[in-house]
């Protein structure tokens, strides 16, 4: 009689335990995970009807969000290894469409072929995980505020941004900006960086995320007339409702570092012999320059320049003489094209120039002939002079195209018309 009462007590405890006491059938081949027993406390923990919970748990793997499946799979493998109890944490989509964190701890009970029975406890650990995530966000927030030049806290609801400036050997001070989003366009950020900066903030306002970018601005710490380079790191902070309430930012002055980086990049983009841009940099700059010609009234000209008889020059006078010819062409191009014009060496003896905002095709042709005369004068009176000349093909934008490929192709055709008809000439593309 006493033994029966003990069984009734145990059954009552198991039934009413607030959490899942369960027996799972796990198929080693299909990897399905099906409960064969769930206590009453599990149904209460899940908050739905028996039918809803049974449908949700019919195969637990199907309810787990995809990115957490590897966590569940690893936990199941640990249990089936039969080295004692093992546990794992994963998220499922509950009956209301929300996410719920579950912790499963179990051990192998019996195994028959591919069928494994596992006794397990399943607990709702959503609140615990939420607290852990909030503590991590707070830790990230505090880390972001330590030892920084400038920090800001943007309140997404009130549209107020508080800047904190750390001053050397003195107390920090705050600056409050109301109507922050409206004031960003006039805040001094360079126009070429403004759209990216606004997009970064817009994305951070709608999703919890980290982001960073480099941008130019008129002095943030000290107002000035010259742009300086800064780097900003931001992190979104979620409020209790799960929506982004604040964006915390950290701004560093990276001006000197950026100038060194740009100088190194510029050196990498330049041809060491002539000082002109290399092929990749030349193309990139021309493609960017062509954007202003779409739908506008400007006219530009692409020059393809080829050094005539260059192999013969190298064979007859030596490679040092050949290098001198190329360097002289580079110097002539540098001296005759200024400002927004783009000059590059795109091959061994080939050069390219994009002349921005010309008045007419005739002006482009006249300048091309001037280049030929200057090269001839540079080597006049020397034996090599009779062999040094250049051929120039020209395509006009937008008349002959608006893309780099179109202009390159047509200038190249004009160039080879010259090469096949006596060399040392200038030709503007025509049909």
For residue 29 the two structure tokens come to 């081949």
In Å, what is the CA distance from 423 to each residue of 157, 334, 351, 353, 365? Answer: 70, 23, 16, 19, 15
Rounded Cα distance between 124 and 269, Å, is 58
Closest C-alpha among 100, 118, 114 to residue 36: 118
The 8-class DSSP code of residue 307 comes to E
- Tell me if residue 359 falls in helix, strand or coil: coil
Burial class of residue 394, CB neighbours in 10 A (0-12, 13-18, 19+): buried
Pairing of the two strands 115-124 and 99-112: antiparallel
Residue 253, beta-bridge partner list? 230
Annotation says 349 is catalytic: yes
End-to-end CA distance of the chain: 110
Choice among 349, 363, 387, 430 that is catalytic:
349
Q: What are the Cα distances from residue 340, in Å, to 292, 399, 408? A: 12, 20, 19
Strand partners, 178: 160
Per-residue DSSP letter, 181: H
Catalytic residues: 349
């Amino acid at each position: 009689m006493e033994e029966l009462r003990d069984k009734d007590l145990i059954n009552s405890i198991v039934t009413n335990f607030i959490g899942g006491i369960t027996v799972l059938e796990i198929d080693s081949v299909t990897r399905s995970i099906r409960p064969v027993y769930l206590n009453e406390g599990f149904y209460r923990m899940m908050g739905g009807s028996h039918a809803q919970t049974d449908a949700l748990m019919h195969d637990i793997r199907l309810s787990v969000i995809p990115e957490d499946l590897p966590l569940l799979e690893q936990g199941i493998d640990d249990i089936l290894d039969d080295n004692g109890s093992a546990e794992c944490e994963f998220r499922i989509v509950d009956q209301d469409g929300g996410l719920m964190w579950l912790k499963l701890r179990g051990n192998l009970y019996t195994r028959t072929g591919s069928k494994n029975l596992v006794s397990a406890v399943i607990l709702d650990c959503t609140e615990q995980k939420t607290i852990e995530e909030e503590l991590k966000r707070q830790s990230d927030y505090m880390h972001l505020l330590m030892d920084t030049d400038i920090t800001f806290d943007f309140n997404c609801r009130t549209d107020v941004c508080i800047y904190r400036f750390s001053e050397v050997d003195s107390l920090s001070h705050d600056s409050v900006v109301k109507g922050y989003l409206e004031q960003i366009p006039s805040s001094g950020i360079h126009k070429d960086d403004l759209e990216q900066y606004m997009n970064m903030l817009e994305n951070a306002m709608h999703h919890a995320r980290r982001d960073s970018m480099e941008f130019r601005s008129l002095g943030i710490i000290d107002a000035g007339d010259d742009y300086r380079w800064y780097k900003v790191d931001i992190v979104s902070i979620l409020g209790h409702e799960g929506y982004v309430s604040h964006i915390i930012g950290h701004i560093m002055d990276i001006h000197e570092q950026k100038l060194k980086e740009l100088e190194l990049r510029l050196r990498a983009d330049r041809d060491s012999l002539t000082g002109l841009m290399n092929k990749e940099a030349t193309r990139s700059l021309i493609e960017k320059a062509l954007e202003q010609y779409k739908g506008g009234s400007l006219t530009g000209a692409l020059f393809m320049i080829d050094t005539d008889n260059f192999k013969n020059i190298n064979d007859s006078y030596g490679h040092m003489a050949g290098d001198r010819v190329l360097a002289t062409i580079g110097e002539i191009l540098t001296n005759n094209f200024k400002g927004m014009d783009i000059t590059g060496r795109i091959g061994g003896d080939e050069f390219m120039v994009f002349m921005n905002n010309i008045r007419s095709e005739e002006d482009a042709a006249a300048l091309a002939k001037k280049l030929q005369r200057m090269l001839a004068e540079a080597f006049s009176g020397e034996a090599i002079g009779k062999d040094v000349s250049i051929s120039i093909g020209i395509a006009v934008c937008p008349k002959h195209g608006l893309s780099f490929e179109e202009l390159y192709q047509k200038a190249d055709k004009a160039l080879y018309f010259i090469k096949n008809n006596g060399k040392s000439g200038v030709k503007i593309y025509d049909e």
